[in-house]
Structure formats: structure tokens, C-alpha cells
Amino acid sequence: MGYIGRWRFDSIGTIEDERGMVYLSAEEYLKAPMPYIDENDEEEVANEITERKSMIGMQIEVAEDGKIYFLSPLPEGVSDEEVKAAVEAGAITIYDGMMTDAPKAWEERDGEFWFDSGIEGEVFGEKTDSWVKPLDADGYFNYINIRFVKADK
């Protein structure tokens, strides 16, 4: 069960006209163009960089108890008192020093790793299964368009 443990951000997928899906490293992502904002607006650019840094700081904890925690770093400049107040108000949950939502379930099926993404919908009128196999042939944990690698690699 090599999937139990901490996974860290590796890359994020973006669509390019010529090449299709391209994965950007943290450094490439921070430097990538921001066509959906006004790049001449310093405040918008600063906000986008903050969001990108948060994305790059994401981690996943696959716990032995059958739960997966999607972890985000606390925002820069937030004091311990502010974090404590937010936790007490129920605004955020902290797991191992990082923010998290409610954990997702995972299980092993026929020797393969599956987790409940919580993403539901329909395709051609048929309800889709929210359980997915997140590991690809290269060993990445894929979540939406983000790839994670095992932290102890």
C-alpha cells in the first residue's frame, strides 16, 4: 500500500492550443501568463500569484484509516490567534498544520487504489460514479488537473 502517506504538488495541467494538455512545474506555473486577468493591474496579479502559491503548496494525506485529506497552506501573514478564532468559529479545519475540508474516503479494490472524489453528475442520462482511481501509470496522484508525487520519493 505505497499510496499511504503524504503526497506533494508536482505539476498542474493547462491546455495549450498547439500541444493540448501540458503540465507545468511550480516554477513554470508561477511564471506562466495570466490571460484571464488584467496583467497590468498589480493587485490582480498579486492576488493571482497568491492563489498560485496556495495551489503549489497543496498536499494530500492518504491516511491508514481510510480517509484522504486535501491540505492547503495557511495564508501568509495569518496569526496563530486568527487561525484559532477561525477554527473555533467553524470556518476552517486544521490537519497537521494545514487547512482541510472534510476528508474523503478511500479503499482498495482488487489491489487498486480508489477514492470517493465527491464529484457527481450524469453522462448521457446515466449517473456517474464518484469513485475514481487517482494513480496513473507513472505513479502520479491525479486530482482534477493537478498531479501529486509521493513526498518520500
Contacts of 69 (CB under 8 A, 6+ apart): 60, 61, 63, 95, 96, 100, 103
Residue 7: count of CB within 10 angstroms of its CB: 25
pLDDT for res 1: 59
Please compute the mean of the pLDDT values over residues 134-149 and round it to a whole number. Answer: 95
Question: What does pTM read for this prediction?
Answer: 0.87
**pLDDT tens readout for residues 12-40:** 999 888 888 899 999 999 999 888 888 88
Helix, strand, or coil (residue 13): strand
| Whole-number Cα distances in Å, 39 to 21, 24, 28, 29 | 23, 20, 17, 15
Please compute the mean of the pLDDT values over residues 140-144 and round it to a whole number. Answer: 94
3-state secondary structure 93-110: EEECCEEECCCEEEEEEC
Question: CB–CB of 117/130 below 8 Å?
Answer: yes
**pLDDT tens readout for residues 75-133:** 888 999 999 999 999 999 999 999 999 899 999 999 999 999 998 888 898 888 899 99
Q: What's the burial of 62, exposed, middle or buried (CB within 10 Å: 0-12/13-18/19+)?
A: buried
Question: CB–CB of 69/7 below 8 Å?
Answer: no
